[in-house]
A and B are shown apart, each in its own frame.
Chain A
């Protein structure tokens, strides 16, 4: 990678971070708007979603972080295989440091032993880079910023679960999903979106549950069994009445996305990740020279 290419790529990555932190993707904005329409006028849910919509507009206008918790920085990237992995990783880390200085990202990476904040968002585990080489001569970059409030209400069940009476079948899975929404109450900044994995191990379960968030809210799961489960869980979770921010109301969730992995005979995990309404997800194709060609969401 020559220095011009490095410079252009750095600029492209900073722009992707800026846009992710300050502008919600269209599918999420549309879903929030619909949720707002469903709440009774003058209710607390209506009030919360009114402020939320105002905030979405204001963040874009001011080009400032939609939410002050700019969260875990999760990159999912395909890069041209002729480039070196380490060189690509280095540019991204540089972009994260620069975006933090510019205030698009909060100083959000803390040493777990000493409690010291790196101040740059770079440190062990931050940013999280899923980097895969491919044969195309372009980058496909996806970025999610996932705040701590919603991350903390994620939960993993190991079936059978006696507490909620969930066995190793789809009925059991559904109980887990509804229980996760109930346990979260308003703490995850609802209305939320669930990413769920049935199966896998403890690590791949959570990993795949987060990858569900890369799907657009309006998409249809190609697996009819999972599509049905997603639809039913969304309708039933919204009957819990928890509502925006836990204030009560009709819109508790905006979406449920479920993936599936094989499991060991001994294990049956259901991993649930919760995403807040401030669902910061963007993506772009970027040429190997560092030009942003197209936004993905």
Chain B
């Protein structure tokens, strides 16, 4: 298990390899469909994402007294942000993207070029991951984007994930797709009429 602390630096990010299991502590920012489209359109968030971590997540957040409390917070499917992610990594200096399901070629190349990694969290594991979220520090765009789509600034401790795209051009998703494609072709030849 590799311990990571956000904000990250390029050297640490480039030391990670596909398959590494990590535990992340520090600040992460949620951002999903609406935020990625908005960032892609050239908008800049009030908080700096430099060396930061974006988490593809639309949490369940309840207000208890004056405080926000996250009660469920697993990752959402990342591939929907594929058209936007590479540009956001480059422009805002993001060092890690947490999500699920993996990302495509553009993101893989951006990770390699700009020093970023994709951390795969366990989809659906909203309670285990909410346990790792210790505090809601701030929220931006609650009205504009709605609760699940807002940018939530979260402090996490030992958030578990697996590196599935590293900064050396490797992608577990690309490898898995190739391997399962070959197996599919083999199974097809065995299907009898």
> Which residues in A have some Cβ–Cβ distance to B below 8 Å?
44, 47-48, 51-52, 54-55, 58-59, 62, 64-70, 103, 106-108, 110, 115-117, 119, 147-149, 152, 164-165, 169, 171, 174-175, 178-179, 182, 185-189, 236, 239-242, 245-248, 276-278
Count, A-B residue pairs, CB within 8 A: 167
Q: A69-B58, A106-B58 are in contact. Are A240 and B71 (CB under 8 A)?
A: no
Query: How far, in angstroms, from A150 to B101 measured CA to CA in the complex?
Result: 11
Partner of A107, one of B71, B79, B147, B179: B147
Partner of A186, one of B62, B73, B100, B193: B100
For the complex with contacts A47-B21, A54-B125, A69-B76, 12 further pairs of A-B residues with Cβ separation under 8 Å are A51-B122, A59-B127, A66-B124, A66-B126, A68-B74, A103-B71, A116-B146, A178-B184, A178-B187, A182-B181, A248-B176, A278-B123
21 contacts between A and B (CB under 8 A): A47-B162, A48-B122, A58-B131, A67-B124, A67-B125, A68-B58, A68-B130, A106-B58, A106-B60, A117-B147, A149-B100, A152-B77, A186-B102, A186-B173, A187-B102, A189-B101, A240-B180, A241-B176, A241-B180, A242-B180, A248-B172
Q: Are B148 and A51 in contact (CB under 8 A)?
A: no
CB-nearest residue of chain B relative to A118? B146
Interface residues on B, range: 35 or more
Q: Which of B173, B181, B184 has the most CB of A within 10 A?
A: B184
Q: Are A187 and B128 in contact (CB under 8 A)?
A: no
Q: Is the interface of B mostly helix, strand, loop or mixed?
A: mixed
Query: How far, in angstroms, from A105 to B181 measured CA to CA in the complex?
Result: 37
> For residue B192, which residues in chain A have a CB less than 8 angstroms away from its CB?
171
Query: How far, in angstroms, from A241 to B58 measured CA to CA in the complex?
Result: 29
Query: How far, in angstroms, from A48 to B183 measured CA to CA in the complex?
Result: 23
> For residue B120, which residues in chain A have a CB less than 8 angstroms away from its CB?
245, 247
CB-nearest residue of chain B relative to A58? B127
> For residue B164, which residues in chain A have a CB less than 8 angstroms away from its CB?
247
Q: A106-B148, A246-B102 are in contact. Are A66 and B187 (CB under 8 A)?
A: no
> For residue A187, which residues in chain B have a CB less than 8 angstroms away from its CB?
77, 79, 100-102
Q: Are A103 and B122 in contact (CB under 8 A)?
A: no
Query: How far, in angstroms, from A88 to B66 measured CA to CA in the complex?
Result: 37
> For residue A179, which residues in chain B have a CB less than 8 angstroms away from its CB?
184
> For residue B101, which residues in chain A have a CB less than 8 angstroms away from its CB?
149, 185-189, 246
Within 8 A of A (CB), among B41-62: 57-60, 62
> For residue B71, which residues in chain A have a CB less than 8 angstroms away from its CB?
64-65, 103
Q: Which 3 A-B pairs have the closest CB atoms?
A: A117-B146, A187-B101, A189-B123
Q: Are B124 and A240 in contact (CB under 8 A)?
A: no
Q: Are A64 and B102 in contact (CB under 8 A)?
A: no
Q: Are A239 and B72 in contact (CB under 8 A)?
A: no
Q: Mark B83-126, 1 if CB is under 8 A from A, else 0.
A: 00000000000000000111000000000000000001011111
> For residue A103, which residues in chain B have a CB less than 8 angstroms away from its CB?
60, 62, 71-72
> For residue A59, which residues in chain B have a CB less than 8 angstroms away from its CB?
126-127
> For residue B127, which residues in chain A have a CB less than 8 angstroms away from its CB?
55, 58-59, 62, 64-66
Q: Are A115 and B34 in contact (CB under 8 A)?
A: yes
> For residue A48, which residues in chain B have a CB less than 8 angstroms away from its CB?
122
Q: Are A240 and B60 in contact (CB under 8 A)?
A: no
